[in-house]
Amino acid sequence: MVVVNTRFLQACRREAVDATPVWFMRQAGRYMAEYRALRERYTMLELCRTPDLAVEVTLQPIRRIEVDAAILFSDLLLPLEPLGVPFDFVKGEGPQIERPIRTESDIDALRRFEPREALAHVLEAIQLVKRELDGKVPLIGFAGAPFTLASYAIEGGHSNHFAETKALMYGNPAAWHRLCDRLATMVGDYLVAQVEAGVDAVQVFDSWIGALNARDYREFVLPHTQKIFAMVAGRVPTIHFGTGTATILAELAEAGGDVIGADWRIPIDEAWARIGDTRGIQGNLDPTLLLGPTERLFAGAAEVLDRVDGRPGHIFNLGHGILPSTPVERVQALAKYVHQYSARR
């Protein structure tokens, strides 16, 4: 199937584009009335596990917002269940893991699984989305990186200090490396299966990696994330995303990714200088700007585009996901603005 709108894929390859491609992390979700309507009837996990529903949610933003890529509706935590770490999403609290993993024997008890069987519903959703999109825009698949996945499995949910995670990492490095190696192999297999099912690009989310400094990143994480990118290499463009990463962007780039995601805590041109000009960059508007006045939102977007200054290889995105209280009209206006402003430059 030919992808008609190729801006996103061209930018991944650092080729010239007619206008800067845009997509938004969490472009499907609670800020949209049609998503909330589905959530009245189904739980988050039901949406993720029922291919027709995952397809519908994936397409909701495509119908309403001028985005240049779709991202599969799913969740980073889905592979935890077949690993033997069941969880649920608890209203108002986020993910809750039933029995967090803490000991070496917990790690050794993790199951190996075949993503084409255990996560067949995700792969089916990919095939269905590709058919529905019919080349309109490319489809992004994704998975979590070892640190972020391990942090949920170990902490049991969201964490501010990653105390248990770091206690294992510093206290029993051998067990930590065994855990991350298992996660990396699983994620690599899962991403390859997503590519075979039809995704046009993949994003690896290491959302909470900003909790580490460069030295610890290099020792405890880099080899594992590198393994994931090596497993997917040469198939489709890859994006490597984290938040709070201003001081470790060079290390993130070293671990892999054709495009590196940056958040709003660092100006995008400085981020790009740290990443190096052999990679593209994705970002990096503060998502809370969508909650304020339009003039400030547009000024923020214009500043990002001015700092990029037309260099090929920029994908416009937020520095993190759209917040649930965001007015949908602002998101629509932002995507249009980025296209118009960048086309005119």
User: Which positions touch ligand CP3 (CB under 6 A)?
Assistant: 25-30, 39, 44, 71, 73, 75-77, 89, 94-95, 142, 158, 205, 207, 321
Rounded to the nearest 5 degrees, what angle is found at the Cα of 145, between the Cα atoms of 140 and 148? Answer: 120
**296 counts as catalytic:** no
Residue 227: CB minimum distance to ligand CP3, A: 20
Residue 146: CB minimum distance to ligand CP3, A: 13
Considering beta carbons, is residue 30 or 116 the nearer one to ligand CP3? 30
Among candidate residues 31, 35, 152, 341, the one labeled active-site is 152
Considering beta carbons, is residue 280 or 321 the nearer one to ligand CP3? 321
**311 counts as catalytic:** no
**330 counts as catalytic:** no
Considering beta carbons, is residue 14 or 130 the nearer one to ligand CP3? 130
Residue 19: CB minimum distance to ligand CP3, A: 22
Closest CA to 307 of 340, 345, 336, 333: 345
Among candidate residues 42, 75, 102, 218, the one labeled active-site is 75
**75 counts as catalytic:** yes
Considering beta carbons, is residue 159 or 294 the nearer one to ligand CP3? 159
Residue 23: CB minimum distance to ligand CP3, A: 9
Considering beta carbons, is residue 90 or 163 the nearer one to ligand CP3? 90
Residue 47: CB minimum distance to ligand CP3, A: 7
**41 counts as catalytic:** no
Catalytic residues: 26, 30, 39, 75, 152
